[in-house]
Structure 1
Amino acid sequence: MLLAVGGLALTASPGGAQADERNWWPLWVSRTDPSTGDERTSFLGPLGFEQTAADATTIHGLRPFFDEAHSADGSLTATSAFYPLWHRESDATTADQRWSFFNLINFEHDASSDVTRFDAWPFYFSRDTGSPEDSYQAVMPLYGDVPQRFGQDRFLWALFPLFGRFEKQGVTTTTTPWPFIKTVTGEGHRGFEVWPLAGHREETGVSSDSFALWPLYYRKQAGLDTDAPSLQTGLLPLYALDRSDGYISETYLWPFFGYVDRTLPYQYHATHYLWPFWVQGQGEDRRVNRWAPFYSHSRMRGYEKTWLLWPLWRQANWNDHQLHHERRQLLYFIYHADTQRSLTQPDAAPASKVHLWPLFSSWDNGAGRKQVQALSPVEVFFPHNERVRRLWSPLFALYRFNQTAPGEVRHALLWDAVTYARSEERDRREFHLGPLFGYTSEPGELNLEFLGGLIRFNRSTPERTWQAHVGPRPTSEAAAPLSSR
């Protein structure tokens, strides 16, 4: 059962345990994984790497400076330099392209719609669609007229924040300057605000929103055209009220004393003392017992969470689709463990991923695949960023363990200076101490190598005689032995 817990980056000590290895550490180490056909090579310890998959796609680079990915026809599909400082991606099939400099200067071309975007945050924004109606070039703070962006239908500014105009769902808010003076117009909408002194805006017959000396006094009404309008009002810190259909919340001497009483769409009642620190609540499929920061326990719609001495220890349990999740954290990332169990196959082994920062990370998919890395200072922060994990994580991999299936394992120490692989399926053992010594054992044959294979001893059964070879390894080992006995 393969559960949704991602593994570690594999480029530092990649491939299955069955990999046949040539070890000239630290200059280069190469091996082929017969289970996948992947060829993997590392240069200068963890710095240089190259991987060629069975489908002829390749990835190579020099950590942490750059990497490149090529398709089977040799086309460059992705590259980066000092990632995440700069990276570029392209799709040979769709001709889409994008590149980014630290996610601040971004270029993107969507070939299917022939749309090009270029931004240099927070100063320059542009989009070219071929149509002047939804194309733009904008310079912050000088001038901009930008449609369908920044959460607005249109955002127009000149010498911002001196002048700005926001349009969304037929409502126009003009600010001169932002955020202090605002005028609201639109069909059925009107309003004027001098923040934080006073302001009022309304949609005739539908909603009303006022404040004075914000946030000391506020009053919001919505749903005035319905049978159950809502009201939010407060004169802080004396009193606050939030009321809607089936719900009421009142606070006295905010935030010291208050309660919540809900009857729709579910039943729930809670009492607050110095909210949000002390809360006692209970209702349909939910319960809150919070005495923060000392202890907090809550259960809401199947999501159960416990805090001890926040933020020291956190534990959470929840169900998602056909999986049960459990997460345990010490100071968020010092210790971080995720476990997943199948709800439909309760007897199946769980999948897990554990980080003890920065000492090690381990991964078990519950179906026989396991990985361990020490040291591991970046895995917990970038669990889903393959490029960060490919370029940075292997630099710290003093020790690596990889099991592709039970009995198919590989150990690597000091970036492949010392490696050991075992395959129960092939009844094969392989050990390398850099180029100094190598040992391979498989049914009917035993091989010893010294100095990267320049001196080799071979013994095969049933003769059980040793053969010695000196010199570079030929294409075939059928060359005449130096001596035998």
Structure 2
Amino acid sequence: MTGLRPRIGEPYRLGTLFRSCLVIACWLCLPGGTSVRGEQEEWGKPFDYGPLACRDTNIHGEQRLRILGPFYEARVSPEGESFSALRPIVSRRTDPAGGQTRLEYLWPLAVVRKSTHEESWRFANIMYTDFDVTDDESRYRFWIFPLVFRGRDAEHRDYMAVFPIAGTANEVMTFDSAEFVFFPLYARSMKSGMVTYDILWPLFSKTVGEDMYRVRIFPFYGRAVKKGESERTFVMWPIWTWARYERPGTSGSAYILFPIFGRTIAENQLSWMLLPPFIRWTEGRGRDRGYSEAQVPWPFLRIGHGKVERFHLWPLVGAQKEAGIRSSFLLWPLVSTWSRTTANEQTDRVVIAPFVQYERRLEGGSGAGEDMEVSGRALKLWPLLSYRQRSNVSSFKAPSLWPALRVQSIEDNVAPLWTLYSRETNGDSVETELLWGLYRYRCDVNESRFSVFPMLSWRQSREEPEEKSLLALGGLLGYSRSEGKSRLHLMYLTLCRSGTAELPVAPGIGGPVK
């Protein structure tokens, strides 16, 4: 099969026409139809025509161009990272320092990823990955999931399979290799040194490995032996199951006569079951001494003490505590909480499905939580709003129609289309927008300004408070002052200049950011 490796641009992969469309879309998605080569390019003088078009630098230092509200956007950071989108058709992210590029087309329909040595794409259920674009003989995959599997694995073995007819597929799902003929009639798979043969899966199966042996004639009989660890047997599953464990600290045996009785006797526990799995009592021994748990009946009432403190009256109320982790629920699955604490970090989550999601992260201190500092927060009140804060950077958006807390592809491709109001902060800098730029307000270390397109725009320098301007209808009528001189604007012309006129500061604007 050497020499048949598919490449982007060949009919076997995307096809010449499809690739041409991708190239054109990528070109349209970049500022001015140009490419971003890892450094911040000059985009010209800033301008603001409300939701029609705007070119500026945002409070994060990124040069930005937006056209027709949320439909077109392009940004370049001071570090050279870039983002551009023609929503909801295509978006592109590049990181020249890391050699990473990601393109998304009509997300989630198609995705292209590129790095220094690796390239992959997906169109619906058609997927391709080239693990080393510099080597024609390297590992690759071409899948039309779950029907066609073709590629070359890490051992440079070519494979081909058409499911469920016949073939061999390597490195698929959790298997090192899988081959089949008219599945489920016959299949052979390899995983972690073990070989499994299946005939009329799942009825007849046999697994052989260095330390593992397993045979199954389902549901009549099955036996699995793992040397030095365990032995398991079933007869007329699930009526009779039996197991023996040999690992130090957990060795022992267990059996279940379903649905009547079950028993476990091991180094670390004693357990009884009545009408399994509904009624169960477990008592810890050895390394788990002091632990006990009762299920009467499962899953409705569960009470545990010791290494795991648990009380579940499902689905009404429940709480659980173990090493570093706490969780609880109320009217499952409507209300739930979860908290994890490590040596120097704590994460808390609260969910009131499907309307409220809240997450808080704390860092520093001893890990007890009291002396930690909040490093980040996230809140989703679906479908009304979302809020995120990390260190001194925050973002507020409304409405927020996607129910998950945050999905980057949603933020890139579709969220701006329904975001009517947004507010971002970075330290003392604030940026607010309403209706995709119909109203804008910004305050940073250099200046304060706001605009109501096309009626009014106002600006005042923070460094030189006397430098200010007030324009109506983009300059049809207005006043400005800079360099100690005042100017009157009429019909988009400067008619008068003097050194004495003064423009009052707009109330509440231009002062310190609250």
TM range (shorter): 0.7 to 0.9
1:137 aligned residue? 160
Q: For 1:433-452, list aligned pairs within 5 A.
A: 433-442=452-461, 443-452=465-474
* Counterpart Cα distance in 2 of 1:289 and 1:227: 27
2:10 aligned residue? none
The alpha-carbon distance between structure 1 residues 264 and 67, as it changes in their structure 2 partners (threshold 3 A), is same
* Counterpart Cα distance in 1 of 2:372 and 2:209: 61
* Counterpart Cα distance in 2 of 1:363 and 1:201: 50
Mapped contact 1:324–1:343 kept (Cα < 8 A): no
2:282 aligned residue? 260
2:263 aligned residue? 241
* Counterpart Cα distance in 2 of 1:246 and 1:254: 21
Q: State the Cα distance separating 1:119 from its structure 2 match.
A: 1.2
* Counterpart Cα distance in 1 of 2:394 and 2:321: 32
Counterpart residue identity of residue 456, structure 2: F
Q: For 1:182-201, list aligned pairs within 5 A.
A: 182-186=205-209, 192-201=215-224
Counterpart residue identity of residue 357, structure 1: W
2:7 aligned residue? none
* Counterpart Cα distance in 1 of 2:180 and 2:323: 44
Q: State the Cα distance separating 1:203 from its structure 2 match.
A: 5.5
* Counterpart Cα distance in 2 of 1:482 and 1:203: 93
The alpha-carbon distance between structure 1 residues 290 and 440, as it changes in their structure 2 partners (threshold 3 A), is same
2:184 aligned residue? 161
Residue 74 (structure 2) pairs with residue 50 (structure 1): yes
Identity of aligned residues (%): 21
The alpha-carbon distance between structure 1 residues 343 and 227, as it changes in their structure 2 partners (threshold 3 A), is closer
* Counterpart Cα distance in 2 of 1:335 and 1:95: 42
Q: Deviations for 1:83-125, whole angstroms, at most 9, x for unmatched residues?
A: 111011212xx232111123x2211112177221111110111
Q: For 1:43-82, list aligned pairs within 5 A.
A: 43-69=67-93, 77-82=101-106
Mapped contact 2:159–2:168 kept (Cα < 8 A): yes
Higher relative contact order (CA 8 A, sep 6+): 1
1:98 aligned residue? 120
The alpha-carbon distance between structure 1 residues 320 and 392, as it changes in their structure 2 partners (threshold 3 A), is farther
Residue 47 (structure 2) pairs with residue 28 (structure 1): no
Aligned partner of 2:234 among 206, 211, 218: 211
* Counterpart Cα distance in 1 of 2:174 and 2:409: 30
The alpha-carbon distance between structure 1 residues 338 and 56, as it changes in their structure 2 partners (threshold 3 A), is closer
Mapped contact 1:382–1:389 kept (Cα < 8 A): no
Q: State the Cα distance separating 1:46 from its structure 2 match.
A: 0.9
Aligned partner of 2:378 among 353, 356, 364: 353
* Counterpart Cα distance in 1 of 2:168 and 2:435: 56
* Counterpart Cα distance in 1 of 2:387 and 2:160: 48
Mapped contact 1:145–1:155 kept (Cα < 8 A): yes
Counterpart residue identity of residue 378, structure 2: K
* Counterpart Cα distance in 2 of 1:169 and 1:129: 15
The alpha-carbon distance between structure 1 residues 72 and 444, as it changes in their structure 2 partners (threshold 3 A), is farther
Mapped contact 1:221–1:231 kept (Cα < 8 A): yes
1:336 aligned residue? 357
Counterpart residue identity of residue 111, structure 2: H
Residue 424 (structure 2) pairs with residue 402 (structure 1): yes
Aligned partner of 1:370 among 394, 397, 401: 394
1:310 aligned residue? 332
The alpha-carbon distance between structure 1 residues 48 and 170, as it changes in their structure 2 partners (threshold 3 A), is closer
Q: Which runs of 5+ in 1 are unaligned?
A: 1-19, 472-479
* Counterpart Cα distance in 2 of 1:281 and 1:172: 40
The alpha-carbon distance between structure 1 residues 207 and 411, as it changes in their structure 2 partners (threshold 3 A), is closer
Which piece of structure 1 moves more, 194-203 or 296-305?
A: 194-203
Q: Which runs of 5+ in 2 are unaligned?
A: 1-44, 499-514
* Counterpart Cα distance in 2 of 1:358 and 1:206: 51
Q: For 1:12-27, list aligned pairs within 5 A.
A: 22-27=47-52
Matched position secondary structure for 1:83: coil
Matched position secondary structure for 2:78: coil
Mapped contact 2:487–2:495 kept (Cα < 8 A): no
Q: Deviations for 1:294-328, whole angstroms, at most 9, x for unmatched residues?
A: 11111010211111111121122221341222211
Matched position secondary structure for 1:276: coil
The alpha-carbon distance between structure 1 residues 460 and 147, as it changes in their structure 2 partners (threshold 3 A), is closer
Q: State the Cα distance separating 1:191 from its structure 2 match.
A: 5.1
Matched position secondary structure for 2:383: coil
Aligned partner of 1:146 among 164, 169, 180: 169
Q: Deviations for 1:192-250, whole angstroms, at most 9, x for unmatched residues?
A: 432123333446887433222322221122429x7974323211111122343212222
Mapped contact 1:369–1:403 kept (Cα < 8 A): yes
Mapped contact 2:487–2:494 kept (Cα < 8 A): no
* Counterpart Cα distance in 1 of 2:229 and 2:362: 49
Q: State the Cα distance separating 1:458 from its structure 2 match.
A: 1.0
Mapped contact 2:59–2:426 kept (Cα < 8 A): no
Counterpart residue identity of residue 339, structure 1: R
Matched position secondary structure for 2:146: coil
User: What is the TM-score normalised by the length of structure 2?
Assistant: 0.78
Question: May I ask how many residue pairs the two structures share in their alignment?
Answer: 442
Residue 436 (structure 2) pairs with residue 415 (structure 1): yes
Counterpart residue identity of residue 413, structure 1: L
* Counterpart Cα distance in 2 of 1:348 and 1:186: 52
Residue 142 (structure 2) pairs with residue 121 (structure 1): no
Mapped contact 2:48–2:54 kept (Cα < 8 A): yes
Q: Deviations for 1:137-176, whole angstroms, at most 9, x for unmatched residues?
A: 1211122223444323432211111101223344432211
Q: Deviations for 1:226-277, whole angstroms, at most 9, x for unmatched residues?
A: 7974323211111122343212222112233221112343331111101122
Q: State the Cα distance separating 1:391 from its structure 2 match.
A: 0.9
* Counterpart Cα distance in 2 of 1:96 and 1:275: 49
Matched position secondary structure for 1:352: strand
* Counterpart Cα distance in 2 of 1:143 and 1:435: 66
Matched position secondary structure for 1:25: coil
1:327 aligned residue? 349
Q: Deviations for 1:454-483, whole angstroms, at most 9, x for unmatched residues?
A: 6553124755x3332654xxxxxxxx8322
